[in-house]
Structure 1
Amino acid sequence: MWQKIRCWFEKAEWPFWIGFLFFVVVVVSCVQLTSSAQQWLLDSSQLPVRYLEVEGNTQYVEDADVQLALNELMQKSFYALDVNEAQQKVEHLDWVYWAAIRKEWPATIKVNLVEQRPLVFWNGDFILNHQGQVFQADTSRLVYSLPALFGPEGEELKALQLFTDYSELLSLYGLKAKEMTMSERYAVHLTLSNDIKLNLGRENGIARIKRFLEFYPALIEQHQVEYVDLRYDTGFAVGEQIMQSETAG
């Protein structure tokens, strides 16, 4: 086989060799051109990132936070900047729930943000968002006060759902819950914004709150209520602030 190939090369005439040489020159030139273009694209002085635009309805995240998170990446060229890496850095910011990043030729990076929606404090040190997910953030940026929830680790979603259901019912009567504690056995204690405490127990929380609301106007008119124990099949017990006595309802 090799002898046939050798014979073929020996019989090839000069036009073939000129064409072959031309082909080699073209290939080498293309490789050099591609390498030069690649180097140019990676050179931040030739193709810098000049602009950063932050989009989204933000209350807690400032443009300066995003700028600081992306500062190192923005030292690279527009071509070299990795949008996936940039997205990860932005999503690590305290108040960012989700981020999408895209490049806009020739020198702009656009960041679209969705912020965390804080609903309640969780076990003192954390916050729960609208999905019942735990996160930590700079609470000094909160624009309104949050209720406080306490409960077993891993039961965040259940605790939030109970608190939401109870809060919606109370709001129909102009009342708000400011704190809820759920024990490991799911017994619930609720504190209203007027500091009245409700002991709901483990079951039938909605029905027990409805019973309390039915008698609420009379209770606050007749008593200095400190707490109401609703764990009875019928009626309830009331603890008063001044006398610290209990009366059956």
Structure 2
Amino acid sequence: MSAFSERLKQLEWPFWIGVAFFVAVIFSAIYLTLAASEWLKDKKQLPIEMLVLEGDLKQVDEKAVLKALEPQMQSSFVGLDVNAAQANVENLDWVYWAAIRKEWPSTIKVNLVEQQAKAKWNDDFLLNHLGEVFKADTQKLDMFLPSLNGPINEASLVLEHYQDFSALLALHKMKAVALTFTDRHSVKLLLDNGIELKLGRENWVARIKRFLEFYPRLATQHQIQYVDLRYDTGFAVGELKEQQDTTITG
């Protein structure tokens, strides 16, 4: 055996010892990391001790929020899945938006923004301030909501028209309580005094103005059931008692 081979053989042992040591360090680090992770996730080690609800809550049921968070609350402070908790809360009635954050060492804060209901939609749903459709229990509502009906994909447009018409009517101390917007974009408007305005498919604002111009005189002469404004220059009046039409041009 040559001197070079002998020298190479002597170097092999330290090399493999170093490799074994390095592998042992890696496995030890992995084990310690996993052990630490499990310890942090253990509810007994870092329990969640306080849950704080923030926001102006009128319709949201606080008990429902607690129940929605119950699966995540079984974890530790570190192990709580914020994204899953937020998704659960945002699925609740009347919740528009939720933000959940951890506050060391044991507090979870839930900030909620409620839906702002502006109208009933197609009998079974509600519209928020953006014209977005949502479903919620209305039993706790203590405010009037107009009833809007229209094509499913045009909710925001229907709400926009209703708000425009309402602003015009309010100038004359009148109020719309319902609006129907058909698939062919024909509009019917029900006022709080029981009068129905048939506005047709165009020139809605101009036709409402025409009604408002003649209404004081009409109210003294007729018991109005509806006013059909689907004419270029006039309108027809349907009366409650006689159930007959009176056509007026102007």
TM-score by length of 1: 0.89
| Residue type of the alignment partner of 2:51 | L
Write out per-residue CA displacement over residues 28-49 of structure 1, whole angstroms, 9 at most, x where no aligned residue.
Answer: 5544433332121010111111
1:62 aligns with 2:68: no
* Change beyond 3 A, Cα 1:20–1:9: farther
CA distance in 2, matches of 1:37, 1:206: 69
Matches of residues 4-43 of structure 1 in structure 2 within 5 Å? 7=7, 10-11=10-11, 29-43=28-42
Pairwise CA distance, 1:224:
1.1
Cα distance in 2 for partners of 1:7, 1:225 equals 115
Partner of 1:164: 163
Q: 1:174 to 1:22 in 2, by over 3 A?
A: same
Alpha-carbon distance, 1:80 to partner = 0.9
Which residue is 2:229 aligned to? Answer: 230
Task: Between 25-34 and 152-161, report the one with greater CA deviation.
Answer: 25-34
Residues 29 and 173 of structure 1: CA distance in aligned 2, closer, same or farther (over 3 Å): same
Opposite residue 157 of structure 2, the aligned amino acid is: K
- DSSP-derived class of the 1:207 partner: helix
The alpha-carbon deviation at position 201 of structure 1 amounts to: 0.4
Q: CA deviation at 1:17?
A: 9.5
How far is the alpha carbon of 1:245 from its aligned partner?
Answer: 2.6
Q: Which amino acid aligns with 1:106?
A: P
Deviations 1:64-118 (A, max 9, x none): 1211100111011111111111110011001111111111111111111111111
Task: Quote the residue 1:44 is aligned against.
Answer: 43
Q: What pairs up with 1:147-162 in 2 under 5 angstroms?
A: 147-162=146-161
In 2 relative to 1, CA 196–12 (structure 1 residues): closer, same or farther, beyond 3 Å? same
1:94 to 2:93 alignment: yes
Unpaired runs of 5+ residues, structure 2, are none
Q: What secondary structure, in the 3-state scheme, does the structure 2 residue paired with 1:67 have? A: helix
SS of the equivalent of 2:35 reads: helix
Specify the alignment match of 2:118 in structure 1.
119
Separation (CA, whole Å) in 2 of partners of 1:110 and 1:157: 33
One-letter code of the match for 1:35?
L
Q: Which runs of 5+ in 1 are unaligned?
A: none
Name the CA shift for 1:9/1:170 in 2 (closer, same or farther; >3 Å): farther
Residue 222 (structure 1) shift: 2.1
Q: Which moved more, 1:202-211 or 1:21-30?
A: 21-30
**In structure 2, what is the equivalent of residue 77 of structure 1?**
76
Aligned AA for 1:102?
Answer: R
Q: Distance in 2 between matches of 1:8 and 1:51?
A: 65
Provide Cα deviations, 1:2-34, integer angstroms capped at 9, x if missing partner. xx99955614898x9998887677655544433
Coordinate RMSD, CA, aligned: 2.5
Aligned amino acid, residue 95 of structure 2? V
Aligned to 2:111, what secondary structure does the other structure show? strand
Report the CA distance shift for 1:244/1:13 in structure 2 as closer, same or farther (over 3 A).
closer
Task: State the alpha-carbon separation in 1 of the partners of residues 9 and 129 from structure 2.
Answer: 76
- Give, in whole Å, the separation in 2 of the partners of 1:5 and 1:187: 99
Q: 1:248 to 1:17 in 2, by over 3 A?
A: closer
CA change 1:9–1:74 in 2 (3 A) is farther
Amino acid at match of 2:82: V
Q: TM-score normalised to the size of structure 2?
A: 0.88
Bigger shift: residues 51-60 or 30-39: 30-39
| Structure 1 residue 231: Cα displacement | 1.0
Q: What is the number of equivalent residue pairs in this alignment?
A: 245
Q: Secondary structure in 1 aligned to 2:211?
A: helix
